[in-house]
Amino acid sequence: MTGVLVLEQSLNGLQFGLMLFLLAAGLTLVFGIMDMINLAHGSLYMVGAYLIATAAAATDSFWIGLAAGVAGTALLGMLLEVTVLRRLYQRDHLSQVLGTFAILLMANEGVRMLWGAQPIALNPPASLAGPVELLPGFFYPAYRLLIIGVGLGVALLLYVLVTRTRLGMQVRAGASNREMALAMGTNVRRLFTAVFGLGAALCAVAGGMLGPLLAVQVGMGESILILAFVVIVIGGIGSIRGALFGALLVGVVDTAGRTLIPLAFGHWLGPEAASGAGPAVASMLIYLLMAAVLFWKPRGLFPAHG
């Protein structure tokens, strides 16, 4: 194993972790403030990617498509919250799971009806299509560096929003003590709508940035939604800081495991074990990580009530 491989996989893990953070941040706020399990969160990631791809193809500009898709997904998320999800807030978690799972299924079928069953293309900006030499002899894709920069920038903006604004104060109060926030006069309906719109926008950013690397296709939100739930469980429900640290931890562990474990199996047990058991063991790592964190810290690394 060379230093170049370690550096490359570290950057890949950082990039993946920051995109997971964009998904987990909105999900942990919805769960922490609204006490709602939202399985439709991954559908907003999928719809955002489709809207961005469509707008980018229509305008021949990735950046215009990204802006239009994020705005459209935020509006769609707020409309969904106002029309449907408000009726689920007072229900038990089983009703919320069934209701949002139904939304997920309808979103998949709606996307299939509008865009078809085949994946659609979302191309990165032409200026970022090639690699960049970061160190002598070490080249890294420029677009992946852009993803890292966007993820860090959004994380910083979200930190400022949550810690330095009135809306952020209400969000933190709602996540820490929902009943006290209500008693202090917080406009709960408006807060819930704003939080859901913000979460939908973050989903769209993640979908748009990952679209050129992954296929923009029906059902793309389900697998990444599972990882987002793992992130908020590790980081602590309702905690933005926990979502960031949990996402980076999951991103690095998942990326490094999928690369290093097959290499180790191939070195010790042969190529058959590397191709068969290696990926299976690597896919278990983040769940073992979650189990270990919950064993030592049952409320996560940075719980909102802490």
* Cβ-based burial of 133 (10 A; exposed 0-12, middle 13-18, buried ≥19): exposed
State the pLDDT at residue 40.
Answer: 87
pLDDT digits (tens, 9 = 90+) for 49-80: 999 999 999 998 899 999 999 999 999 999 99
Give the global pTM: 0.88
Confidence band for 176, pLDDT divided at 50, 70 and 90: low
Q: Which residue has the higher pLDDT, 274 or 24?
A: 24
State the pLDDT at residue 79.
Answer: 92
Of 23-27, 109-113, 181-185, the least confident: 181-185
State the pLDDT at residue 174.
Answer: 66
Closest CA to 75 of 208, 201, 221, 209: 201
| Cα distances (Å, whole numbers) of residue 236 to 4, 194, 294, 298, 304 | 33, 21, 10, 9, 7
State the pLDDT at residue 306.
Answer: 46
CATH number at residue 210: 1.10.3470
Our separate counts of H helices and E strands in the chain read 11, 2
Rounded average pLDDT over 190-198: 84
Q: How is the chain split among helix, strand and coil, in percent rounded to 5?
A: 75, 5, 20
The answer to whether residue 255 is domain-embedded is yes
The answer to whether residue 34 is domain-embedded is yes
pLDDT digits (tens, 9 = 90+) for 202-211: 999 999 998 8
**b/e sequence 140-154, b meaning 16+ C-beta within 10 Å:** bbebbbbbbebbeeb
State the pLDDT at residue 42.
Answer: 87
d(C-alpha 39, C-alpha 98), whole Å? 9
With 70 as the cut, is the pLDDT of residue 234 above it?
yes
State the pLDDT at residue 122.
Answer: 87
The answer to whether residue 305 is domain-embedded is no
- The maximal CA–CA distance of the chain, rounded, in angstroms, is 64
Q: Which residue has the higher pLDDT, 172 or 242?
A: 242
Closest CA to 302 of 245, 228, 230: 245
For residue 169, the enclosing domain spans 3-296
Rounded average pLDDT over 196-220: 88
Residue type, 108: N
pLDDT digits (tens, 9 = 90+) for 269-306: 666 655 666 567 777 888 888 899 988 888 888 876 54
The answer to whether residue 303 is domain-embedded is no
For 35, residues 6+ apart whose C-beta sits below 8 A from its C-beta are: 89, 178
Most confident of 6-10, 160-164, 201-205, 222-226: 201-205
Average model confidence (pLDDT) for the chain?
83
Structural domains in the chain (count): 1
The answer to whether residue 91 is domain-embedded is yes
The answer to whether residue 121 is domain-embedded is yes
pLDDT digits (tens, 9 = 90+) for 126-175: 888 788 878 787 888 888 989 999 889 988 988 888 788 887 777 777 66
What six digits make up the tokens of 251?
């991103």
Q: Is the dihedral of CA 103, 304, 253, 24 positive or negative?
A: positive
Contact (Cβ atoms closer than 8 angstroms) between residue 41 and residue 26: yes
Rounded average pLDDT over 233-239: 83
The answer to whether residue 28 is domain-embedded is yes
The answer to whether residue 210 is domain-embedded is yes
Rounded average pLDDT over 83-87: 86
Contact (Cβ atoms closer than 8 angstroms) between residue 273 and residue 286: no
Rounded average pLDDT over 206-232: 87
